[in-house]
């Protein structure tokens, strides 16, 4: 059991999170929406142990979620609501909430924060990808969230996440969310952080200036690769008043790309015209992760399509009508989950609270009189403009001018402005984000610009530090 606090707060810089004792808290979450319903206590131990060992600091889960049938039981046979009458009155089964509390306490033993959704969006909004029914209005939502806040009052390792992948389509939806936030604040865990997790660009569109919203969340989702979430994060970095921002649902590893699917009545998908259904890879995860963090995000959420729904062999697959995925235990070993600790550890060591987006340090590639460049005159390609999301280079810098970090998703020429680094000698390290290993490390005298070409064909991370 950790001896230090797991309670979290917004950090002094207002862009990041920290623990209540001031230690930096880099939000690196895995997604297990149906954890409380679909895992036994022993399986939860296995899951938490694996994620803690890989450097995760948080788990996103719903207090209850019904993928296919309302009021679905957990592995012990208990239902979230003992009867249909209780479901519609939103009176939670004591056995269910006791299990939620026990598993949340178990997470603390592994040093993990639980980012808890009181409910998925289907219980307050008919526009949803789960079973429903809509049972919450503002009054019932407030009462239910007050109940949860009291029930988990002794669990300091909680962040509250309202919403649940549903849009605000009418004023009553916004009022329900506001009243749910008020219920959480009224209860015993009223000092815990609260955010709103949407199915689009972010909580900031409606709730940014409201006092209950501690940090912003957005979802770049699974429609296609290379969605420029870094642009949304950097925009939020510059919004006043400042609040931390996190992409809480980017491309899930192994998820099918929605662009190839046709929606069915319950927001699920059928095979489109494509002869195959391409899946997101660990590479897609890394591109979203590195670029949003370097754009100023307070962290990142990882997801695997098997783990987010705790998929077992023979289970019906949620969202897609066909399977082809490993079971959740096998998916624990998917490569993406082991490729995230590098950046978290680096920015924590360097000083995450000092990191600022620094795209101005990207120096566009200058054409020369060489004939390959003359052939490209007038073409707006990525090496010059850095606008293409598939190859976009992202840069962050230290407010004290002691280091800068650059990430390129493809092998490219990087010309970086190093004139402001406060030292005469620089250490340049090029990392392989796939393995976490160092490809090259060398020292040079500081110069106004530094030109590099990484060795890898795919992504590389460059860290430049003042050493003298």
Token duo for residue 246? 């996190």
In SS3 terms, the chain reads as: CCCCCCCEEECCCCCCEEECCCCEECEEEEECCCHHHHCCHHHHHHHHHHHHHCCCCEEEEECCCCCCCCCCCCCCCCCCCCCHHHHHHCCCCHHHHHHHHHHHHHHHHCCCEEEEECCCHHHCCCCCCCCCCCCCCHHHHHHHHHHHHHHCCCCCCEEEEEECCCCCCCHHHHHHHHHHHHHHHHCCCCCCCEEEECCCCCCHHHHCCCCCCCCEEECCCCCCCCCCHHHHHHHHHCCCCCCCEEECCCCCECCECHHHEEECCCCCEEECCCCCCCECCHHHHHHHHHHHHHCCCCEEECCECCCCCCCCCCCCCCCECCCCCCCHHHHCCCHHHHCCHHHHHHHHHHCHHHEEECHHHECCCCCCCCHHHHHCCCCCCHHHHCCCCCCCCEEEEECCCCEEEEEECCCCCEEEECCCCCCCEEEEEEECCCCCCEEEEEEEECCCEEEECCCCCCCEEEEEEECC
Arithmetic mean of pLDDT, 395-410: 98
Q: Above pLDDT 70, what percent of the chain? A: 90
For residues 397 and 463, give the distance between their C-alpha atoms in angstroms, rounded to a whole number.
Answer: 10
Angle (deg, nearest 10), helices 41-53 and 94-109? 30
For residues 83 and 348, give the distance between their C-alpha atoms in angstroms, rounded to a whole number.
Answer: 47
Query: pLDDT, tens digit, for every residue of 214-240?
Result: 999 999 998 899 999 999 999 999 999
Token duo for residue 273? 């015209």
| Contacts (Cβ under 8 Å, ≥6 apart) of 293 | 299, 300, 343, 347, 396
Rg (CA), the chain: 23
Where residue 346 falls among pLDDT bands split at 50, 70, 90? very high
| Contacts (Cβ under 8 Å, ≥6 apart) of 132 | 66, 70, 122, 123, 126
CB of 222 within 8 A of CB of 255? yes
Distances, alpha carbon 415 to alpha carbons 55, 408, 409, 418, in Å: 32, 11, 15, 9
pLDDT of residue 55: 98
pLDDT of residue 265: 56
pLDDT of residue 121: 85
pLDDT of residue 385: 78
Across 70-84, 85-99, 304-318, 350-364, least confident range = 304-318
Query: pLDDT, tens digit, for every residue of 76-86?
Result: 999 999 999 99
Q: What is the pTM of this model?
A: 0.94
pLDDT of residue 367: 57
pLDDT of residue 2: 63
Whether residue 262 has pLDDT greater than 70? no
Apex 143 CA angle, 125 and 266, nearest 5: 20
Whether residue 261 has pLDDT greater than 80? no
Query: pLDDT, tens digit, for every residue of 118-138?
Result: 999 888 888 777 777 899 999
Pick 196 or 199 by higher pLDDT: 196
Query: pLDDT, tens digit, for every residue of 412-438?
Result: 889 999 999 999 999 999 999 999 999
Structural domains present in the chain: 8-350 (3.20.20.80), 358-466 (2.60.40)
The pairing of beta strand 194-197 with beta strand 158-163: parallel
């Amino acid at each position: 059991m950790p001896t230090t606090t797991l309670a979290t707060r917004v950090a002094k810089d207002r862009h990041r999170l920290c623990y209540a004792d001031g230690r930096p808290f880099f939000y690196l979450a895995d997604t297990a929406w149906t954890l409380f319903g679909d895992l036994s206590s022993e399986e939860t131990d296995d899951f938490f142990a694996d994620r803690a060992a890989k450097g995760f600091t948080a788990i996103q889960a719903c207090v209850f979620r019904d993928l296919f049938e309302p009021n679905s039981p957990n592995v012990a046979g208990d239902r979230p609501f003992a009867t249909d009458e209780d479901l519609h009155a939103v009176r939670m089964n004591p056995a269910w909430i006791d299990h939620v509390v026990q598993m949340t306490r178990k997470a603390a033993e592994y040093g993990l924060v639980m980012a808890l959704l009181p409910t998925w969006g289907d219980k307050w909004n008919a526009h949803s990808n789960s079973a429903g029914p809509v049972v919450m209005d503002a009054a019932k939502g407030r009462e239910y969230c007050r109940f949860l806040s009291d029930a988990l009052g002794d669990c300091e390792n909680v962040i509250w996440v309202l919403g649940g992948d549903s849009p605000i389509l009418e004023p009553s939806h916004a009022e329900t969310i506001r009243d749910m936030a008020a219920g959480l604040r009224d209860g015993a865990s009223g000092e815990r952080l609260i955010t709103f997790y949407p199915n689009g660009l972010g909580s900031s569109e409606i709730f940014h200036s409201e006092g209950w919203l501690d940090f912003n969340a957005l979802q770049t989702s699974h429609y296609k690769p290379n969605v420029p979430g870094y642009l949304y994060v950097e925009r939020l970095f510059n919004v006043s008043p400042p609040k931390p921002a996190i992409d809480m649902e980017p491309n899930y590893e192994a998820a099918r790309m929605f662009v190839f699917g046709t929606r069915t009545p319950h927001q699920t998908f059928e095979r489109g015209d494509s002869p195959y259904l391409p899946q997101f890879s660990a590479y897609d995860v890394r591109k979203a992760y590195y670029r949003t963090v370097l754009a100023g995000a307070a962290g990142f959420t990882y997801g695997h399509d098997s783990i987010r729904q705790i998929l077992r062999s023979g289970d019906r697959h949620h969202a897609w009508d066909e399977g082809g995925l490993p079971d959740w235990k096998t998916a624990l070993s998917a490569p993406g989950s082991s490729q995230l600790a590098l950046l978290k550890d680096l920015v924590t060591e360097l000083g995450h609270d000092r990191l600022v987006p620094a795209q101005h340090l990207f120096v566009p590639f200058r054409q020369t009189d060489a004939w390959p460049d003359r052939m490209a005159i007038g073409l707006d390609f990525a090496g010059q403009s850095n606008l293409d999301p598939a190859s976009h280079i992202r840069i962050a810098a230290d407010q004290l001018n002691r280091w800068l970090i650059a990430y390129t998703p493809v092998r490219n020429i990087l010309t970086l402005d190093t004139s402001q680094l406060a030292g005469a000698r620089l250490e340049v390290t090029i990392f392989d984000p796939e393995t976490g290993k160092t490809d090259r490390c060398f020292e040079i005298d500081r110069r106004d610009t530094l030109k590099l070409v990484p060795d890898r064909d795919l992504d590389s991370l460059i860290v430049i530090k003042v050493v003298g």
